[in-house]
Amino acid sequence: MVDAVLFEFLHTEMVAELWAHDSDLDPGPGGQKTSLLVLEGMGFRVGQALGERLPREMLAFREELDVLKFLCKDLWGAVFQKQMDSLRTNHQGTYVLQDSSFPLLVRMGSGLQYLEEAPKFLAFTCGLLRGTLSTLGIKSLVTASVAALPACKFQVVIQRS
Amino acid sequence: MSRQANRGTESKKMSSELFTLTYGALVTQLCKDYENDEDVNKQLDKMGYNIGVRLIEDFLARSNVGKCHDFRETADVIAKVAFKMYLGITPSITNWSPAGDEFSLILENNPLVDFVELPDNHSSLIYSNLLCGVLRGALEMVQMAVEAKFVQDILKGDGVTEIRMRFIRRIEDNLPVGEE
């Protein structure tokens, strides 16, 4: 089994590499946007693949809320060795997942200092959530926001056709 | 009780697969970003190096290994402690050079390549090249300049995966003039 810490190291290096590469190609906001999209897309594909590999028994969900709880407990536990701190919903398809100490932000310090950098470190995870949800039959939009490091919120909005 | 145990194993499996899948997504993205396999190989090595120079701290903090006195001890620590801790495998150490400055790590299986097949147009791609960079970066931080490279690869049809490690030189600390 691969040690969990390797993902964090790999993720940090991935963000740095993609950021540098896309900034070389387009130094303005366009390059930054590309990087975020690329990271989100990678997270999405990984989330889909992860979802496909889960055993069927684990996926016997009765309702949408159960799926979100699964993300907060099992997925977060597997990926970050902790559970999401809180899950809120308006019961109309919007969920807010709160992590008071998001591991991919922890190394960046705390407070307001690196606020501008934070989105880079959240994009992959947003994609991961969106991808896992997709495999579980749920189409969504996932965004993240940071008020002060290392706390962050992931907002999941279910897309109904 | 057994449901809890299943959850724990499932969690570790997910965590392990997450890394493998993420690595795969990275290699795929690099193949899109760079025109040829050689450039991808270089990027993987560079990224691995950057990871290695930080991973060594994590390793030293968690493993309690003392200073290695020679390259043979280093080989043992790499194979039996480091690979086991981070990748859950224990490569065997073979093919020592007569001078004791080169050896091979033989990996029967490689977690990085689970679920992977190399497409035909990437025959020069060294898929797991990140590992070579990690080894190089980590060892540099403990004062050893080494070269690491894949000489056999299961992904390319070889029977095993073999990494050749070569000791180049010890990196001396730079002491200010006048101090011992």
User: Which ipTM did the prediction report?
Assistant: 0.91
pLDDT given at position A108: 75
Domains of chain B (ranges; CATH) run 16-170 (3.30.1380.20)
Is residue B52 packed enough to be buried (19+ CB in 10 Å), middle (13-18) or exposed (0-12)? buried
Is residue A158 packed enough to be buried (19+ CB in 10 Å), middle (13-18) or exposed (0-12)? middle
Q: Find chain B residues with C-beta within 8 A of A16's C-beta.
A: 50
What average pLDDT does the segment B132-137 reach?
A: 98
Q: Which residue has better confidence, B139 or B3?
A: B139
Q: Cβ contact (<8 Å) for A10 and B43?
A: no
What is the nearest CA distance from B176 to chain A, expressed in angstroms? 33
Residue of chain B minimizing CA distance to A22: B33
Q: Where are the domains of chain A?
A: 37-158
Q: Is the pLDDT of residue B1 over 50?
A: no
Q: Cβ contact (<8 Å) for A45 and B22?
A: no
Highest mean pLDDT among A17-26, A96-105, B167-176: A96-105
Q: Find chain B residues with C-beta within 8 A of A79's C-beta.
A: 14-15, 18
pLDDT given at position A30: 74
Q: What percent of chain B has pLDDT over 90?
A: 71
A43-101 pLDDT per residue, tens: 999 999 998 888 777 677 778 999 999 999 989 988 898 999 999 999 999 999 999 99
- What is the number of CB-based contacts under 8 A between chain A and chain B? 89
Q: Cβ contact (<8 Å) for B19 and A7?
A: yes
Minimum-distance CB partner of A2 among B19, B25, B51: B19
Residue of chain A minimizing CA distance to B33: A21
Q: What are phi and psi of A95, to 5 degrees?
A: -125, 140
Q: At what angle do helices A29-53 and A5-25 cross, to 10 degrees?
A: 150
CATH topology of domain A37-158: Muramoyl-pentapeptide Carboxypeptidase; domain 2 (3.30.1380)
